[in-house]
Amino acid sequence: MVFSFSLGVRDPGSRARRGTLHTRRGSVQTPVFMPVGTRATVTGVSPDELSALGVPILLANTYHLMLRPGPELFRRVGGIHEFMRWPGPVLTDSGGYQIFSLPSERTVSEVGARFVSYIDGRIHELTPEGSIRMQTAIGSDIMMVLDECIAATADEREVRAAMERTHRWALRGLGARENPEQALFAIVQGGLFPELRRSSAASLGAQPFDGFAIGGLAVGDTRAEREDMTAFVAEILPVAAPRYLMGVGTPPDLLTAIGCGVDMFDCVIPTRLAWQGTAFTSTGRVRVTRGVNRLSDRPLDAACGCHTCGTYTRAYLHHLMKCGEPLGPRLLIIHNLHYYLDLMRQARDAIDGGIYATFARQRLAEMDRLEHAEASA
């Protein structure tokens, strides 16, 4: 089955919209949050547990999977789905952000990026064509072109140069695609400069990509700058194609971007904060390692229907985290992913009901009041 995207209803009070991604491994309702499974695993959670949570699609990372286990293994076993025993769709990031995050250990040229492996110190090269070959071996359902990601705070000359190189790399990636069943998304760059973003959206939007990502945000910009640029770019992207905001993902970020017409999200926040002992709840963020939870018989979130909240007390979660037991963050990850997935479900229901603008306004007001607060009892 060739990838396609169908648009559904739109919210009358915002630019929020419903849609469906049709992939060879099933359909995905949007707006959607994709848990990050960087190395063919969502840290600490099994594929069966992800299925039980109702996760519709995962994200994996080309850079990390290229270094280990490498393309030969994926070709031998038949791709990432067989390798990790995950039946649903997978989107693979191209590796551009990981290259950006290693400034002292890489060089970028028109050819691509040369970098030092964090595993064995060997020199590797990742080109636009090589990224597509690796993603083809991985067998992901949605691939991303390789882009040059730079800090959002870079000056206009640097941002323009990186954007133009991203466009050239995108065309090379498009030419390297081998399997028409694997969708290919382009990445709009341009930093915090509206005219560069407009140029990027126009240039890439004229090419036969299957979807478009908004890249280069959450890399030094403020929340206000991120929200303004997301709204600006989403409005000028092709209407009939899915829109993906890369790597941005606090709950307020998601609700605001959905209201701008964004369809897809990923972020490590729900898993990373779980490892630090933090959970998202209906009463704000809860740090379970706080002393107030040591003897608490309350669930993590009484309003939550996840396995963690229905089974374990805050005292037990506090104990696990204080003891350094791996079960602690595992249970918090299950809860946080449930929270994110349920937030997406509520958003889709609100769009279907034509009340998203009101829903988002109310939820954002609650989150702004509670986002950085911890439950006191």
DSSP state, residue 267: -
Residue 121: HSE in the Cβ half-sphere, 13 Å Cα cutoff:
0
Using DSSP, state whether 150 is helix, strand or coil. Answer: coil
- Measuring CA to CA, which residue among 374, 353, 242 is closest to residue 14? 353
At 252, the amino acid letter reads P
CA distances from 158 to 69, 190, 199, 215 (A): 34, 10, 15, 15
User: How far is 272 from 269, CA to CA, in rounded Å?
Assistant: 5
Annotated active-site residue 266? The verdict is: yes
Task: List 185's β-bridge partners, or say none.
Answer: 144, 211
What 3-state DSSP class applies to 116?
A: strand
Catalytic: which of 147, 221, 266, 301?
A: 266
Q: In the structure encoding, which two tokens stand for residue 223, read together?
A: 């929340």
Question: Does the active-site annotation cover 368?
Answer: no
d(CA 291, CA 301) in angstroms, rounded, equals 17
* Residue whose C-alpha is closest to residue 278's, from 268, 267, 289: 289
Rg (CA), the chain: 20
Q: Which of 11, 93, 221, 263 is catalytic?
A: 93
* Distance (Å, whole) CA 66 – CA 72: 9
Q: Which residues are catalytic?
A: 93, 266
